[in-house]
């Protein structure tokens, strides 16, 4: 968990490698649906473009089918889900039916002004999803992904006005989840302000 731009996607790559668990990002699944013009993608697009949340019913149905895929049976890391208390409750019910549970909810904490600075300069590869930064982590060739040579772009929802809206959605709808997981004794907090490697060591030492 954490505001947009906290570093959830950036940290997920190495954590997934270290623990060989499925990385399930609702944002990535939705963007893939938009790209391949599915019914879900068509329904979700206008919410995503506006920086608003896609309705819970669509997200919960999508996650029910994703969590039943083979690669999730040995453990998984959720990224960008749940984002509302209704999603968290539905997730707990779903996992109980599957004989599973969430071990921990990790909150990466970052202030709003840092989020705005980071996201307005964030760039992503539209082919492989690699994340860059126009100031701090540029591609070797302008606009071309170092990993796969795909096109590196700015996400439409990383425009400043959309970021401000996403932050207010986060504070109103997602921040109450901290209470939900704190009461369940599952909340772990990590300072997301340091360098990527420092945040990663905190995450990794939590697991041990």
- DSSP classification of residue 55: P
Q: Is-cis flag, bond preceding 82, omega within 30?
A: yes
**Residue 24 binds ligand AMP (CB under 6 A):** no
* Residue 174 backbone phi and psi in degrees, to 5: -100, -35
Binding part of the chain for ligand AMP, among 50-58, 107-115, 118-126, 187-195 by CB under 6 A, reads: 50-58
| Window 60-99: contact mask with ligand AMP (x via CB under 6 A) | --------------------xx-x---x------------
Asked about 123 being catalytic, the answer comes back as no
Minimum distance from residue 148 beta carbon to ligand AMP (Å):
19
Asked about 35 being catalytic, the answer comes back as no
- Provide the token pair at 14: 């190495």
Measured from the CB atom, is 27 or 192 closer to ligand AMP?
A: 27
**173, HSE (Cβ side, Cα atoms, 13 Å):** 21
Residue-wise DSSP of 94-111: HHHHHT-----EEEEE--
**Residue 54 binds ligand AMP (CB under 6 A):** yes
Measured from the CB atom, is 49 or 141 closer to ligand AMP?
A: 49
How many residues lie near ligand AMP (CB under 6 A)? 17
How many Å apart are CA 151 and CA 128, to the nearest integer?
9
> Residue 166: which of 110, 107, 119, 109 has the closest Cα?
119
Measured from the CB atom, is 38 or 201 closer to ligand AMP?
A: 38
Asked about 122 being catalytic, the answer comes back as yes
- DSSP classification of residue 21: -
Active-site option among 45, 155, 186, 188: 155
Active-site option among 31, 118, 122, 123: 122
User: Which residue in the set 2, 7, 51, 192 belongs to the binding site for ligand AMP (CB under 6 A)?
Assistant: 51
Residue 139's contacts (CB-CB under 8 Å, 6 or more residues apart) are: 123, 132, 145, 146, 152
Contacts to ligand AMP by CB under 6 A: 4, 26-27, 30, 47-48, 51-54, 59, 80-81, 83, 87, 157, 166
Tell me the catalytic residues: 8, 83, 122, 155, 166
């Amino acid at each position: 968990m954490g505001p947009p731009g906290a570093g959830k996607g950036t940290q997920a790559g190495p954590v997934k490698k270290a623990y060989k668990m499925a990385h399930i990002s609702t944002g990535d699944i939705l963007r893939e649906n938009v790209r391949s013009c599915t019914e879900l993608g068509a329904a979700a697009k206008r919410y995503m473009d506006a920086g608003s949340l896609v309705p819970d019913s669509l997200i919960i149905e999508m996650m029910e089918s994703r969590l039943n895929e083979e690669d999730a049976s040995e453990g998984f890391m959720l990224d960008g889900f749940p984002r509302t208390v209704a999603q968290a409750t539905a997730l707990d019910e779903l996992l109980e039916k599957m004989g599973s549970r969430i071990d921990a909810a990790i909150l990466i904490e970052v202030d709003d002004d840092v989020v705005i600075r980071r996201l307005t300069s964030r760039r992503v590869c539209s082919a492989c999803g690699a994340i860059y930064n126009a100031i701090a982590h540029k591609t070797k060739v302008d606009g071309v992904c170092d990993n796969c040579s795909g096109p590196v772009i700015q996400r439409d929802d990383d425009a400043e006005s959309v970021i401000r809206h996403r932050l207010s959605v986060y504070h109103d709808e997602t921040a109450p989840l901290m209470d939900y997981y704190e009461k369940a004794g599952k909340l772990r907090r990590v300072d997301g302000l340091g360098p990527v490697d420092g945040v990663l060591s905190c995450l990794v030492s939590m697991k041990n």
